[in-house]
Amino acid sequence: MTASHQILLYYLYAPIADPEGFAEAQRELCGRLGLLGRIIVASEGINGTLSGEAGAAAEYMAAMREDPRFAGIVFKTDPAEAHAFPRLSVKVRPELVTLGLTGAEDVDPRSLTGERLSPRAFLEAMSDPGAVVLDGRNRYEWELGRFKGAVCPDVDHFRDLPKWLAENLEGAKERRILTYCTGGIRCEKLSGLLVKEGFKSVAQLDGGIVSYGKDPEVRGRDFEGRCYVFDERVAVPVNSANPTVVSRCRRCGGPSERYVNCALRRCNAQIFLCAACESGAGRYCDDGCRHADDPAYLERLPHGEGFRFVDALLKLEPGNWGVASYRVTGREPFLPGHFPGDPIVPGVVLAEAVAQLAGVVAQSDPEVPPVEQLLLAGLGRVKISGAARPGDTLRIEAKVTGRMGGLVQADGSVEIDGVRLCSATVSLGGAR
Ligand SMILES: [Zn+2]
Ligand SMILES: [Zn+2]
């Protein structure tokens, strides 16, 4: 069977004098060939992943190799039945991979990088018990699969890695370090950085996990789980020699390689969830997301348009705790008059948002019948430390701390992008 499409993964560190012009030429070339995917262009080279019809992919590879700057480029190819990307994006960036190193800190992989090991040599090197196998990827990647016994840095971004290494790998400078990543590009910089930092013996898996899985001799041996990829496939198999599953179902903790997105659209987190858990409790991270996806809870808010400061629930533990968002539109009736020229949301409105969410949380309690017209009745310990403006999205949190009849007590806070603007203790009261 021959597949109609191909997926390409490639990079090359090679100086590009005019990144903007080169990016434009790439857009034209890909557009003409009907290729989709993502390309990063920098003055230090190119990094790309594309999908397209097999003939078009072949034409692209030929066109790139014709350019003397990219004659040595290596393309990793996978057959596919269709495109793996929804669109084409070609961007110019200061770095091919964002390590955040500037000036003298930066590493040029063409002059400083770890020893390149073939899949075969990497497999052999891993058998040395003194070696440190270092995963150069992010948590969401290695959670899906990694080399047996690898050290996996707890980072969400590649740029956080230098700090993690300084804090956690300092004592391993005399040991052999074996780095790996998806296709090899991150290791070019990472291994160079380690050499620069004084690690005595640094090597990298040439071509990354992808090449390691395709190597006819090693066939992905000792890679546990699957490889995370940045296209619609999400997870690809690597190991056909001694495959295992390492990822765990978010709910029951059993082995599962089912990678899905949380059904709560505003969460959309990628999670492992086994089929049994999904059919039992829905395709959600947890019950907090499941309850937050039920519009009935918000509908019980008595507040009308213009005085409602909870748009959407993000997490809800009925009767106990909740998180919600509110986007300041600038059209709120109280805004323009308050501070002409610089409309800010008054602190009391932030406390009101906490109270409204507290009301939603309290009213969702399955054990307690709903209260009519549950409204803010009192404020205590209010701390305001910032202002919100039109365009901001508030993150509101509230925890019910006490209930008695039609009275509700709650603690809560409001944040924007992780910065706290307000905390408050609120009391609500309504008719029983
Ligand atoms: Zn499960
Ligand atoms: Zn979720």
Residue 281 lies in a domain: yes
Q: State how far the Cα of 206 lies from the Cα of 122, in Å rounded to an integer.
A: 9
| One domain for residues 426 and 299 | yes
Per-residue pLDDT of 185-221, as tens digits, reads 999 999 999 999 999 999 999 999 999 999 999 999 9
| One domain for residues 134 and 168 | yes
**The predicted structure's pLDDT at residue 404:** 87
Domain at 146, CATH number: 3.40.250.10
| One domain for residues 328 and 219 | no
| One domain for residues 53 and 136 | no
| One domain for residues 343 and 269 | no
Residue 252 lies in a domain: no
Catalytic machinery residues:
181
* 301 confidence band (pLDDT: 50, 70, 90): confident
Count of structural domains, the chain: 4
Residue 101 lies in a domain: no
pTM as predicted: 0.72
Q: Please give the distance, rounded to the nearest whole angstrom, from the Cα atom of residue 277 to the centre of ligand 1.
A: 4
**The predicted structure's pLDDT at residue 336:** 65
Q: Please give the distance, rounded to the nearest whole angstrom, from the Cα atom of residue 258 to the centre of ligand 1.
A: 10
Q: Residue 157: give the domain boundaries.
A: 106-236
Residue 310 lies in a domain: yes
Q: Please give the distance, rounded to the nearest whole angstrom, from the Cα atom of residue 362 to the centre of ligand 1.
A: 30
**The predicted structure's pLDDT at residue 27:** 98
Domain end call among 92, 116, 132:
92
Q: What does residue 119 show for φ and ψ, rounded to 5 degrees?
A: -50, -45
Q: What does residue 77 show for φ and ψ, rounded to 5 degrees?
A: -120, 145
Ligand positioned closest to the Cα atom of 251:
1
Q: What is the mean pLDDT of residues 36-50?
A: 96
Residue 249 lies in a domain: no
Q: Please give the distance, rounded to the nearest whole angstrom, from the Cα atom of residue 363 to the centre of ligand 2.
A: 22
Domain at 332, CATH number: 3.10.129.10
| One domain for residues 322 and 395 | yes
| One domain for residues 112 and 19 | no
Per-residue pLDDT of 110-130, as tens digits, reads 889 999 999 999 999 999 999
Per-residue pLDDT of 324-346, as tens digits, reads 999 998 888 777 666 667 778 88
| One domain for residues 348 and 421 | yes
% pLDDT > 90, the chain? 78
**The predicted structure's pLDDT at residue 306:** 77
Q: Please give the distance, rounded to the nearest whole angstrom, from the Cα atom of residue 150 to the centre of ligand 2.
A: 28
Residue 143 lies in a domain: yes
**The predicted structure's pLDDT at residue 328:** 92
Ligand positioned closest to the Cα atom of 277:
1
Q: Residue 148: is its pLDDT beyond 60?
A: yes
| One domain for residues 352 and 274 | no
| One domain for residues 14 and 142 | no
Ligand positioned closest to the Cα atom of 271:
2
Q: How high does pLDDT run on average in the chain?
A: 93
Domain at 22, CATH number: 3.30.70.100
